[in-house]
Structures are given as C-alpha cells and as structure tokens.
Structure 1
Amino acid sequence: MDLLGERWTMLIVRELCLGPKRFKDLLDVLPAIGPNRLTSRLRSLEAAGVVRRGTLPPPAGVAVYELTERGEGLRGPLIELGRWGLGLPPSAEVDPATTRADLIALSVSTLAPPEKLVGLKEIYELHVGTETFHVEIAEGRMWTKSGPAPVRPDLAVTCRLRTFLAVVFGRTRAIDAVESGDLTVTVGAGELAERAFDLLSGSDLGYPVYLGV
C-alpha cells in the first residue's frame, strides 16, 4: 500500500492496462491529476519496476509508458475491483456521466469461457459514444485496448453507451440492436456482432444498478 495506496497510482495502472500511453494521453484521461503529480507517480512506479518507458514502433515512434511484467500482475486485481464496482448500489457516489465503455469492456472481456476463444484470431473495433477502442482475440486470450484497431478489424460497430451496456449486460441481443438501428455495423456482419458481444458478455454480473440507463 505504500506504493499503490497513493492517490491516482492505481488509476494510472488501470489506464496502462488498456495499452501504452503517452504522458499527454494520461493527462487527457486523468485531467485532475496535473502534470507534476503525474510525473511523480510515474517515477515511483518506474522505480518499483511496475512501469517502464518505451517507444511505439514506426511510423508512430513516440515515447510512451507501459506496464512491465511485474505491472501486468496488477491486471487481475484491478479487473476484479472493476467487477465489484459494477454492483455498487444506487446510493453510492458514482457519476454515470463518467462511465467508460472501454473500462467496462476491460472488466468483462476476461469472463469469456476459454473454450470459446480457442482457434479465434479476430479484432473488433468499437465506437461507443465519443470513445474508440478495440478488442483483440489471439492465442486463447481476449484483450481490450485503447484507440482504433492497428489493422482492418474483422468487425466494427457504432452505438451509444446505453446500447453498449444493454447488449453487454444481456438486456437486449446484439442482433436485435442491429435490426432496430441502435447498433450500426460498419465492418463485418450482424452475426459476427452477435458472437463478439457474446464473448464480451457481463450478464452474469447483473446490470450496473447505479447507472439507471
């Protein structure tokens, strides 16, 4: 707790679970932290071997921060905390306006039964409200990452946060959302959207009651 209990530290790790980030990227998603405190927290995490500085491959070639192997060890506990948070009661001090689809996907993407991932190598790109993120499936694992897919995705969809939550948490089927026009498939087919959201299902967790949407 001496290392991880400082304010903002676990939120920085959470963001890096979604992939490498530039200093500016971290400031954008954590605007209240301020550059000085962000610098201090990153230095502490680097010194502890949780975070390292790297460079994205060409053509980007920009400096980023990313989790080390030791830092990756925090992914499981963080995801469990995220799932716990989905069950908070309506009286809890949670602002639905700050709910992010990429973090929901990060929490539920590890719930897919391993047997459903065997032999799959696919990328899904999701545009939810103002967010863009992608989900990669390879070698029996599913990963949620920030930003657009690095290559042409097998599936790309656009929807509102309300629709995303309704499909992920089992209030409606993806194919029904496609037919109603609430979910637009821009790459791939509706049947693939149905499979993608089946793999992204968090229905066993129950609907996030604090959202009210």
Structure 2
Amino acid sequence: MPGRRHYTDPCPVAQALDLVGERWALLIVRELLLGPKRFTDLRAGLHGVSPNVLSQRLEELSDGGVIEQRFLPPPAASQVYALSDWGRELEPIVRALGRWGRGRPGPTPDGKLSPSALILLLEDLFDPESAAGLKVRVGLQLGAGHFQYRITKKELRPVAPEAGDPDVILNTEPDTLLRLIRGAEGYAGALAAGALKVRGDEVLAERFLTLFQRP
C-alpha cells in the first residue's frame, strides 16, 4: 500500500492496525457487517467522510484482503463492497469494541447514528428476559435501511425481508429509535409528532422498545 505509514513492528496487533487502523477503516467494516453495500450506501452511513477518503480506504481494505468487490446481476447491475471471509472474522472484534466504547468516560459525542450502527447496538443491548413468552416478527425501517427480526424463545434473530410480513413495522430515524429506547423521548409523543410511524400492532411496537437495556 504505497504512500501509507506502517508500524515497523512484527507484533500481530501492529500488523492488524496496518490494515484497519486508519481513520474510517473499522467503520467501513462496521457498515459491511450486515451485508454488501454500494459506494453511495457506505458514504450515507459514514457521516463526514469525503468521497476521496472513502475511495482510498476501500482500496486499502481491498488490497489488504479485508473486503472485496462484487457485481450484482440485473436488474440491480451495480458494484458493491463486501467483507471477505477473512474480513468477516473482524465481527466479534468490532462488536466487542462497541461494548468497550459504551463505557467511555464523559458525554457521548454529538452526531448521527447510521442504521447499521444502531442495529449492531440493538442486537448487543437485547435483553432476553424481557422477551419471555414473546413470539413475533418485527420490521424496522430506519431511513433507507430495512431490517426484520424474529423474536422467539428469548432470542432476537435477523431474518430476510422476503421471509414474510412482520407483525409490526416501526418507521423512524435511527436517532429517534435510540431516544425511544433510552426513554429520552416518549412513544406517544413521537407518534403524535410524526417522528415515529407504526404499521400494525401499536401495543406490540411499544413493547418492542422495552426489550433492550438502556445504553
């Protein structure tokens, strides 16, 4: 990777940082944990990254074997970026880093959460005991991100959107959903203000917000 600075250290930690230690690199990995994305999708989820820097990081991660480029067949017919099998091994590391980061001293920095970042956070905050006896399918429409989960046997399991119609769909922005889960914004108020739209069982939607530990 010409033009980049490297650690002259044979330690595996240093070698790993040579690959994913540059700014935005691990956040690109975070965005790809939930599946392949186009360049425009990645840029939308990484607030503040310039097109040139994103292109450079993608090239570096590709050269390092962390990600790979794929081409979707028609009708999409577009190029996407995806984690390689080796890059996928970063998932438990990224999730553990997120848990460690939640203990950061001081206030949480201002900024917008990407849909992928929020989904990873929700999966980590899910409280199995709060879901006792619950057997439902929930859809989340977070801006441009669409996700679906099956909750059964005290487990939160992602399912493909084409798996069937969910029992309830919550349509909101990632930051609004996080405020609702934290209790910083009320359910009824968000509905009345139009910040949250619910299709399906509203009682179930409100209960869904209680299934997570408050971050």
In 2, Cα distance between the equivalents of 1:109 and 1:63? 28
Shift of 1:124: 1.1
Sequence identity, in percent? 32
Quick one: higher RCO (CA 8 Å, sep 6+), 1 or 2? 1
Question: Which has more radius of gyration?
Answer: 2
In 2, Cα distance between the equivalents of 1:117 and 1:76? 26
Moved more, 21-30 or 2-11: 21-30
Residue 181 of structure 2 is matched in structure 1 by 168
Q: Give the 3-state SS of the residue equivalent to 2:209 in structure 1.
A: helix
Residue 117 of structure 2 is matched in structure 1 by 103
AA of the residue aligned to 1:125:
L
In 2, Cα distance between the equivalents of 1:162 and 1:34? 22
Pair 1:44 & 2:66 matched: no
Shift of 1:73: 1.9
In 2, Cα distance between the equivalents of 1:112 and 1:98? 21
Residue 177 of structure 1 is matched in structure 2 by 187
Q: Give the 3-state SS of the residue equivalent to 1:88 in structure 2.
A: coil
Shift of 1:119: 9.8
Shift of 1:107: 1.5
Aligned length: 192
Shift of 1:35: 3.6
Residue 21 of structure 1 is matched in structure 2 by 37
In 1, Cα distance between the equivalents of 2:200 and 2:141? 12
Residue 201 of structure 2 is matched in structure 1 by 189
In 2, Cα distance between the equivalents of 1:42 and 1:25? 13
Residue deviations 1:52-102 (CA, integer Å, cap 9, x gap): 21234553232100112322222222223223333434457x2x2334465
Q: Which structure 1 segments of 5+ residues have no match? A: 206-213
Q: Give the 3-state SS of the residue equivalent to 2:20 in structure 1.
A: coil
Aligned-residue CA RMSD in angstroms? 3.8
Match 2:141 to one of 91, 110, 126: 126
Kindly indicate whether the alpha-carbon contact (under 8 Å) linking 2:170 and 2:199 is maintained by their aligned counterparts in 1: yes
Label 1:161 to 1:3 Cα distance change in 2 as closer, same or farther (>3 A). Answer: closer
Calculate the TM-score normalised by the size of structure 1.
Answer: 0.67
Residue 12 of structure 2 is matched in structure 1 by none
Kindly indicate whether the alpha-carbon contact (under 8 Å) linking 2:66 and 2:84 is maintained by their aligned counterparts in 1: yes
Residue deviations 1:141-195 (CA, integer Å, cap 9, x gap): 53499xxx567544222446665234323567xxx61477356443211132134
In 2, Cα distance between the equivalents of 1:82 and 1:35? 25
In 1, Cα distance between the equivalents of 2:136 and 2:82? 24
Kindly indicate whether the alpha-carbon contact (under 8 Å) linking 2:36 and 2:80 is maintained by their aligned counterparts in 1: yes
Label 1:70 to 1:124 Cα distance change in 2 as closer, same or farther (>3 A). Answer: same
Residue 202 of structure 1 is matched in structure 2 by 213
In 2, Cα distance between the equivalents of 1:137 and 1:55? 27
Q: Give the 3-state SS of the residue equivalent to 2:141 in structure 1.
A: strand
